A = this chain, B = another copy of it.
Amino acid sequence: MCKAPAVIDLPRHNAHFCAEHLQQLCRRQVAKAIDDFEMFAPDDRILVAVSGGKDSLAVWDMLIDAGYRADGLYIGLGIGEYSTDSGAYARRFADERNLDLRVIDLREEYGYDVPTASRATGRVPCSACGLSKRRLFDQAALDGDYDVVVTGHNLDDEAAVLFGNTLRWDIDYLARQLPVLPAANGFPKKAKPLVRLTERETAAWCLVRGIDYVVEECPIAAGNRHLAYKESLNAIEATSPGSKASFYLGFLERMTPLLADRSAAAVGELHECERCGAPTTGEVCAFCRLVDKAAAHVPVPVELVVGRRR
């Protein structure tokens, strides 16, 4: 692109990028996503779901860099050393930049952790983890009067989830796989500003911006189907650069209109959980039921859950 030294080659753009042009690319793609999908307005208060990994720290940095008002929320999931490390990266990022990071520790505040919840409920760990995070981010956004919850899901994440939903032709999941979900039925608005950026690009953003992040994958997630779908798509991308982006963006452009009727119907009849007030289809919501079982269970060390999967 210019004469400055390249930091990354991007085959789908058929070019090498220097630090400055890489940042320009990222800023443009994020601005385009926010604009195209009407994610939020300049004055909206944003709550970023922070994991300590490259994507959530990159999206928080990009939002602040672009002048948005964005606070962070980190949830301590109790996944051994991985959680200790990722929490430290999240705190350091916020401290160094004088940003507002709230921390919720599952064990301290709710009496359980993800490995224990998985064992106590019989759910796969990623399911127990996702349920906990969704509920706590939603609640924090509503309590804190935020306009939108932002997550760091990137193009690779969304393409892999889309691939899984497509392999099963799960029409209800497909209908709801959107880069922005409006506030509705007691849920806050949610947006994914990184859907036009790959994980190589967000990693490069962190590199050139001097952002330290937890590099390891979650030890429990390692080997799950989501990662297998990513590998499949990476193999296709390697022979046909750009196919990952055209898979995901083509879905949004040409397929979601055909699913529009199903998107609303897929939510179902909701009312308030009689314990916590969150929207649910049952009497007591899945999160309250999970907390009941998990907090009553003897703590399960992460090694036991990882060992079981392998």
Interface of A toward B, CB cutoff 8 Å: 166-169, 171, 225, 228-229, 231-232, 235-236, 239-240, 243, 246-247, 250-251, 253-255, 258-259
In the complex, what's the smallest C-beta–C-beta distance from A28 to chain B, in angstroms? 24
Q: Which 8 A-B pairs have the closest CB atoms?
A: A169-B250, A169-B254, A232-B232, A167-B247, A169-B255, A258-B258, A171-B254, A169-B251
Within 8 Å by CB of A232, from B168, B171, B235, B253, lies: B235
User: With a CB–CB cut-off of 8 A, which chain B residues contact A171?
Assistant: 254-255, 258
Q: Specify the main secondary structure of chain A where it touches its partner.
A: helix
Minimum distance in angstroms from A278 CB to a CB of chain B:
30
Chain B residues near A168 (CB-CB < 8 A): 246-247, 250
Report the copy number of this chain in the oligomer.
2
Give 30 pairs: A residue, B residue, CB < 8 Å, sorted on A.
A166-B166, A166-B247, A167-B236, A167-B243, A167-B246, A167-B247, A168-B246, A168-B247, A168-B250, A169-B247, A169-B250, A169-B251, A169-B253, A169-B254, A169-B255, A171-B254, A171-B255, A171-B258, A225-B239, A225-B240, A228-B235, A228-B236, A228-B239, A229-B236, A231-B235, A232-B232, A232-B235, A232-B236, A258-B258, A258-B259
Name the residue among A229, A255, A259 with the largest chain B CB count within 10 angstroms: A255
A229 to B229, CA, bound (A): 13
CB-nearest residue of chain B relative to A238?
A: B228
Q: CA of A166 to CA of B164 in the docked complex: distance in angstroms?
A: 12
A228 / chain B contacts, CB cutoff of 8 Å: 235-236, 239
Q: Please, how many angstroms separate the alpha-carbon atoms of A259 and B169 in the complex? A: 13
Complex: how many Å from CA A232 to CA B231? 9
Write the chain B residue with the least CB distance to A240: B225
Q: Shortest beta-carbon distance, A236 to chain B, in Å?
A: 6
Bound together, the chains give a CA A232 to CA B243 distance in angstroms of 14
A247: chain B residues at CB < 8 Å are 166-169
A283 to B255, CA, bound (A): 33
- Nearest to A244 among chain B residues (CB) is B167
**A252 to chain B: closest residue by CB:** B169
Contacts of A246 in B (CB 8 A): 167-168
Which residue of A228, A231, A236, A246 has the most chain B CB atoms within 10 A of its CB atom? A236
For the complex formed, measure the closest distance between the CB of A255 and the CB atoms of chain B, giving whole angstroms: 5
CB distance from A111 to the nearest CB of B (A): 35
Q: Which residue of B lies closest to A243 (CB)?
A: B167
Alpha-carbon gap, A229 to B169, bound state (A): 18
Which residues of B sit under 8 angstroms from A167, Cβ to Cβ?
Answer: 236, 243, 246-247
Instruction: Give min CB distance, A222 to chain B, whole Å.
Output: 14
- Bound complex: CA of A168 vs CA of B245, how far in Å? 10
Q: How far is the CA of A259 from the CA of B255 in the complex (A)?
A: 10
Q: Residue of B at shortest CB range from A166?
A: B166
